Structure 1
């Protein structure tokens, strides 16, 4: 069987690459993947798979015709908060695949926000006609429940991604704290300045080494470099392209401060204390599910001292997830693997 994998792949986003790596890890052995990518050469080299340019219409059509199934490969693909076009790209492709008679799987989805009636209608129609649907959070499950669409709820599959050790990590000073910020309208220059000042004070109080992790270099690297300039000898910008290495970083980290959803998932899964800076409802959902402390970026305290004091308190007295909780979430994440086996082998 050949399956076309559609997601935000090959765009330099560590979270989406982690979803792809996990999906490839979970595919049944009799399924040959064809990956739609924004950077086909990089995707082919990294994963050793057949690829297709996601924006080359004729090539995508030929790929669909050559495949037996289409898989929406995880994440917030069906939402219109950051792009009004995105749900029509993914929804249009899913509708086309369904009309062509392919098996269609909405895999590990985080649905929404859906602010426009057109995208709400499109989402409802495409999910209703999928062979199987799995979602990663309760809000998405609630939406499908309201639409009377069958689904399976399980933790984000990246919980189950196999981490790799990071060369040279253990040569860096310890203890270490990872910081993952991203460009966003809510992260204004003033708020970034407040966070930087708070990090400087936090580092001095805890004598930790700050690891700055850009999950998407196009959006995150300049911020990481700006913060690094305030630390110099007690911080390092670490750019890792391979998802398994990104997850492996957190094995050598005591605490993670993150805006990126998958930075928090990776950190929590590796036993780190986590503190969230949320710019999106999906991060608030994770905070609620795992009882992770944090602030909405839009409601960040104005006083850097309050921020740093809160971080120092969490560093000193906060608790990571228990090993039993981590094992439970990891085991549950493999439900997404079962969904693939049911959909593709039935």
Structure 2
């Protein structure tokens, strides 16, 4: 069996690459993956798979015709908060696959936000016609309940992604703290300046080494570069494209401060303390599900001293997830694997 995998792959986003890596890890052994990617050569080389240009309709149709199944490969693909066009792209591919008679799986989806009625209608129709659906959070499950679509609910599959040792990390001074920020309209210059001052105070108080960890180079690297001069010799920017290595970073740090959803999932799953700065409802859902401390970016305190004191307190006295809780989430995440096995028989 051949399955065409569709997601935000080949665009340099560590979280989406982690979803692809986990999907490939969970695919049944009799299924040959074919991947739609923004960088097919890189995707093919990294994962050892057949890959095609995601924006070339001729390549997409040719790939669909060669496959028996089509899989939305995880994450917030059906949402119109960041793009009006994006949900129609993904829904269009799914509808085409359904019309061609392929088995179709909406896998590990985080649905929404859906601000526009037409996007909501398209989402409902598309999910209703899928062979199998799995979602990663209660809010997505509530939408499917409202639409009378059957589904499986399980934690984000990246909880179960295998990690690899991180080159060079153990050569850096210990203890270490990872910081993962991303560009966002709410991360204004004054807010970034406040966060930077708080990080400086936090580092001085804890004597930690700050690992600035861009998850998507195009969006995050510039922010890391803006922060680093204030931390001079007590920080370093590390950038890794391979998601398993990216996850391995969190084995070697004492705490993570992050905006990126999957940076926080990776940190928590590796037994690292995590503190969230939420820019999106999906981060709030993770905070609720794991009792993870944090702030909404929109309500970030203006007082750098208050921020640093809060981080210091969490560093000194905060608890990571217990091994039992991590194992529970990992076991539950394997439901996404069972969905694939059931759908692709």
- 1:33 and 1:271 map into 2 onto residues whose CA distance is 31
- 1:27 and 1:229 map into 2 onto residues whose CA distance is 44
SS in structure 2 of the partner of residue 143 of structure 1: helix
Q: How does 1:53-72 map to 2 (within 5 A)?
A: 53-72=53-72
**Structure 1 position 170, deviation (Å):** 1.2
Aligned twin of 1:209: 209
Aligned twin of 2:119: 119
Aligned twin of 1:195: 195
- 1:166 and 1:215 map into 2 onto residues whose CA distance is 14
The alignment's TM-score, normalised by the length of structure 2, stands at 1.00
**Structure 1 position 166, deviation (Å):** 0.8
The alignment's TM-score, normalised by the length of structure 1, stands at 0.99
SS in structure 2 of the partner of residue 266 of structure 1: helix
Aligned twin of 1:265: 265
Structure 1 alignment gaps of length 5 or more: none
SS in structure 1 of the partner of residue 344 of structure 2: helix
- 1:18 and 1:296 map into 2 onto residues whose CA distance is 24
Aligned twin of 2:87: 87
Aligned twin of 1:77: 77
Aligned twin of 2:50: 50
Aligned twin of 1:337: 337
SS in structure 1 of the partner of residue 88 of structure 2: helix
Aligned twin of 1:307: 307
Q: How does 1:11-160 map to 2 (within 5 A)?
A: 11-160=11-160
Structure 2 alignment gaps of length 5 or more: none
- 1:330 and 1:297 map into 2 onto residues whose CA distance is 28
Aligned twin of 2:283: 283
Aligned twin of 1:219: 219
SS in structure 1 of the partner of residue 82 of structure 2: coil
**Structure 1 position 232, deviation (Å):** 1.6
Q: How does 1:174-193 map to 2 (within 5 A)?
A: 174-193=174-193
SS in structure 1 of the partner of residue 155 of structure 2: coil
Aligned twin of 1:2: 2
4+ residue segments displaced more than 2 Å? none
1:105-132, Cα deviation, whole Å (9 max, x unpaired): 0000000000001110000001001000
1:60-82, Cα deviation, whole Å (9 max, x unpaired): 01111111000000000000000
